[in-house]
Amino acid sequence: MDRKIKCVLVDDEPIALALLEKYVSQTHFLELVGKFSNAKTALEFVENNEVEVVFTDIQMPDLSGMEFSKMIPKNIKLVFTTAFDEYAVEGFRVDAMDYLLKPFDLIEFQKAAFKVKEWIELVQSKNSPTGEEENAKKFLFVKSEYKQIKIDLDKIDFIEGLKDYAKIWITDQPKPILTLMSLKKLEEELPVNQFMRIHRSFIISLDKIEKIERNQVVIRDKFVPISDQHKEVFQEYVKRNSV
């Protein structure tokens, strides 16, 4: 995703609102389009402007964050920010993407924001028609041991990241292909309808999943972990393809 995600901040505490704004400025894929000290004004804004995610406090005067969450357009994702953990269950009942318990730091904020980013990318890939270029991409050339090796995409089981290297596990090959390429670079080259990142260190071929056990995917008798950061997007994929 090259474009930025349009976000709105809602918190009746000026210090908390300023901190949220600072965190947004430090998150490269977010664009702040509005900040509000009360939910009523925020509600009017999101109903009349393009907004993709709202970071909102829960306990606020006039209109609570929970009430606000039930009134905004359904396509807008929510991340709750609050000092009270008793709202966690109710927060997820209204389909919140995440629940940040104050005080939270930049890393926790960005982890929640990344969940939203992955969700939006997943929805876009599902709804957008597959382009001719992506249809045409059936293979990749990767550098390995001073050679350019052609790899058919439908033969990739999964890819494991090791700092600046990646191990590409190929069907019917006992050993992986080792290439000097980051996992992020490989992820950018792979079709989103065929591959998914389910862990900081792993990308899997969705067609090669044999079964799912607890927080692991089994491919060719190998167990690939699913991280908390990527779990929600993966579970949505599984849900869409379950009976």
The CATH number of domain 132-240 is 2.40.50.1020 = yes
Amino acid 27: pLDDT: 94
User: What mean pLDDT is reported for the chain?
Assistant: 86
Domain boundaries, the chain: 5-127, 132-240
Residue that wins the pLDDT comparison between 209 and 163: 209
Alpha carbon distance, N-terminus to C-terminus of the chain: 30
**Span 5-127: which CATH code?**
3.40.50.2300
Q: Match 């929805």 to its residue by tokens.
A: 123
Residue 87, both tokens: 């709202």
Residues 6+ apart with CB under 8 A from 219: 157, 158, 169, 204, 205, 208, 209, 210
| Model confidence at 24: pLDDT above 90 | yes
| Model confidence at 135: pLDDT above 60 | no
| Model confidence at 89: pLDDT above 60 | no
Closest CA to 47 of 73, 66, 29, 12: 73
CA-based torsion, 107, 109, 115, 117: positive or negative: negative
